[in-house]
Amino acid sequence: MSHKVIFILTHGEKTYGPDPGMTPFGHQQVQSLREYLPPMISRVIVGEGRRHFEMIQDLGLDPNLCVFSPMVGRATSNIPENPKLVYLPHGEIISIEQWLPLSIGEVRRFIKPLADGTVVLGGRPLIKTVLKFSCDHNQPAALTASYYKITIKSCEIISIDCHSASGAEKTNREEV
């Protein structure tokens, strides 16, 4: 039985506030991941936040060929001074207890049927939710742009290769 490979790239260092974009350093981090894009991209799925849209430009992708989904990245943002609070896109601040994250099952059902060569531009919550896995960069989640190559066989994730823009170790995790 054949396998397929999908690619998830996460945004770089971001600013804070409602629907934050990336810092100049965050843009550099994402640009450094261009070399990891597959030569043949079947589809590009992008989160709905400003920082996700900025990734399209930083990676040199055509926005007209992209589809957008909150399933892979939302326009919300945590508040660094108080991790128990979340900015909504329009600027309202809510308690983390009021926040309903995507379930692991929902996101895995979304990711597994994607076509071979699909590129997903999202954030760290996507990686944590889909895979119950993140490369240990020893940094807060939003600071390092990262690339994940995920191999799927028979609807099961069989391996994950990871590389961060900060040069953190490459990781391979089998049978996630």
The whole-number pLDDT of residue 1 equals 52
Answer yes or no: are the C-beta atoms of 9 and 145 closer than 8 Å: yes
List of the chain residues with pLDDT < 70? 1, 130-143, 167-176
Beta strands in 62-176, from DSSP E residues, in sequence order = 66-68, 77-79, 82-87, 93-95, 118-122, 146-153, 156-164, 171-174
- Which 8-state DSSP code applies to residue 22? B
Q: Match domain 3-11+22-73+101-174 to its CATH number in 3.40.50.300, 3.40.50.1240, 3.40.50.1820, 3.90.550.10.
A: 3.40.50.1240
| Token pair in block for residue 66 | 């992209």
Give residue limits of the domains in the chain: 3-11+22-73+101-174
Distance CA 148, CA 125 (A): 13
